[in-house]
Structure 1
Amino acid sequence: MLQNIEQLSDVRRNILEALKRNGPVTIAELANRFAMTGEAIRQHLLILEKEGWVERKIFRASHGAGRPSTRYRLTSEGEHLFPKNYVSLAVEVIDTITEHFGQDALRHVLESMTEHRVREWEPRVNGLSLSERVNVLRDIYQENDAYMEIEQSGDQVCLIEKNCPFLNVAKRRPALCSVTVSAFTRLLGCRVVREERFQNGDGRCVFRVLVDQPIDPETSVFSYEDENLTHS
């Protein structure tokens, strides 16, 4: 999967950079800029459009006169090809909450995040067996998660995530992972512990479902992972 604009050919990268710097442009404007034929530019745009990185739109003259023009612009997916720094922003938000409002405020935020996930997923797992719930919750990070696996042997059940989508933030502020652990516990009705962690260099996170340790979802509350370990 393409991760950034540097992986594209020179021509397609130049086209995307032109759209980024100048906004919506016509084929003729691009052809003139890069000294290429309009047909050559069109073929590159068709490929970029097929990949979902650009889109065409009809623009009408602001004064109402003149023929409308077809211009190409970046899609939201195309925007993501350019460098972003979401990780630093997320970490800064977490640290600012803690610095200005204290650890209790951060705990309340994480608790609210857990409640949101529980409310979102509860209707999908209600009435299902434990095995069926586990299968549904393999998509808790992202739909059709190809990197979340289920490992089951007898009463032993594990959810194994090999591509955490929040890894760069979670490695710097691992308290965020307590949201997933608490949500799994509530939704599965059994205590869940993380036996392997990306933060420890394991290359994956392994969430073990302790089938012999049922919990009451109605009274279960958010807790940090370390607190769970303390009370084990």
Structure 2
Amino acid sequence: MATTQHPSTKQDILQHLLQQGQATAQELAEVLRISPQAIRRHLKDLEEEELIEYQAIQGGHGGTEPLMGRPKHVYHLSRKGRHQFPDNHAQFAVSLLDTLQETVGSEQVSSILRKQWQRKAQEYRDRLASGTLQERVAKLVELRRAEGYMAQWYPLDENDDGCDRFMMTENNCAISDVAESFPSVCGHELEMFASLLPDCKVERTTWIVGGEHRCGYLIQPKNSLS
């Protein structure tokens, strides 16, 4: 009983979300060994403090088609919540890029950032291998989730040619500090997705840096556009 009122419980919740990326109230209750009711009280407090956010998900996890039924809340750290933990990596990266820009100019920095995303694309390409478009999209989402992007995917309506379209969403930007100061990285990221799926058109539909709550990408085969 005393555990539910332990002053470190909220910190334990934040720590778990930092390590795991996301969790439901039930999962947190099981891990921290306190009642779901107590967990929900703490989650409500953390939400009011703007340290966590949640996404309502119907059915299974992001790689499955949504099912009917009551949606469950999946919690993750907000940007403010992440800042509760010591981490100078983002600040250092932005400072380094600022210094580079002052030293070599914006065009050269953009070239360096593009090269970085080309390297990242090669890393992804080696792991995506071959497969159907759905399999490749699912694998890409898996890789992005592992890097903290809170990615999901779902199929859209099938067109007359029988070619599926897919939507990939990212509810968290793992490089938000850099992206806000150097939004060109988002353009390079989009180029990377297009290079990984050369038989598709990849279009950004929503953008966190633009003030929206997530980044969204419409993926559709080029042969369906002709």
For this structure pair, what is the TM-score category when the shorter chain's length is used for normalisation?
0.5 to 0.7
State whether residues 159 and 208 of structure 1, in contact with CA within 8 Å, keep that contact through their aligned partners in structure 2.
yes
Say if 2:173 is the partner of 1:170: no
Cα drift, residue 173 of structure 1: 2.1
Say if 2:213 is the partner of 1:203: yes
Q: Which amino acid aligns with 1:156?
A: R
CA deviations on 1:101-135 (whole Å, 9 max, x unpaired) are 12231122122212211221212223212111101
Q: Which amino acid aligns with 1:178?
A: G
State whether residues 111 and 179 of structure 1, in contact with CA within 8 Å, keep that contact through their aligned partners in structure 2.
yes
User: 1: distance between equivalents of 2:89 and 2:148?
Assistant: 21
User: 2: distance between equivalents of 1:87 and 1:146?
Assistant: 15
SS in 2 for 1:209: strand
Which structure would you say has the larger Rg? 1
Cα drift, residue 93 of structure 1: 1.4
Same amino acid, percent of matched pairs: 25
Q: Which amino acid aligns with 2:175?
A: F
Cα drift, residue 187 of structure 1: 0.7
SS in 2 for 1:198: coil
Q: Which moved more, 1:82-91 or 1:157-166?
A: 82-91
Relative distance call for 1:90 and 1:213 in structure 2 (3 A) is: farther
2:117 paired residue among 114, 130, 151: 114
Cα drift, residue 84 of structure 1: 3.0
State whether residues 141 and 165 of structure 1, in contact with CA within 8 Å, keep that contact through their aligned partners in structure 2.
no
TM-score, with structure 1 as normaliser: 0.52
Cα drift, residue 159 of structure 1: 0.8
- 2:95 aligned partner: 92
SS in 1 for 2:167: strand
Gaps of 5+ in 1: 1-6, 13-46, 48-79, 215-232
Relative distance call for 1:146 and 1:102 in structure 2 (3 A) is: closer
Cα drift, residue 180 of structure 1: 2.0
Gaps of 5+ in 2: 1-6, 13-31, 33-82, 159-163
State whether residues 167 and 217 of structure 2, in contact with CA within 8 Å, keep that contact through their aligned partners in structure 1.
yes
- 2:8 aligned partner: 8
State whether residues 144 and 150 of structure 2, in contact with CA within 8 Å, keep that contact through their aligned partners in structure 1.
no
TM-score, with structure 2 as normaliser: 0.53
State whether residues 171 and 198 of structure 1, in contact with CA within 8 Å, keep that contact through their aligned partners in structure 2.
no
CA deviations on 1:11-53 (whole Å, 9 max, x unpaired) are x9xxxxxxxxxxxxxxxxxxxxxxxxxxxxxxxxxx9xxxxxx
Cα drift, residue 148 of structure 1: 0.9
User: 1: distance between equivalents of 2:112 and 2:145?
Assistant: 21
Say if 2:181 is the partner of 1:191: no
**Structure 1 segments of 4 or more deviating over 6 A?**
none
Cα drift, residue 81 of structure 1: 7.3
State whether residues 191 and 213 of structure 1, in contact with CA within 8 Å, keep that contact through their aligned partners in structure 2.
no
Q: Which amino acid aligns with 1:206?
A: G
Superposition pairs for residues 8-27 of structure 1, below 5 Å? 8=8
SS in 2 for 1:182: helix
CA-based RMSD of the aligned residues comes to: 2.9
SS in 1 for 2:122: helix
Relative distance call for 1:213 and 1:90 in structure 2 (3 A) is: farther
State whether residues 110 and 184 of structure 2, in contact with CA within 8 Å, keep that contact through their aligned partners in structure 1.
no
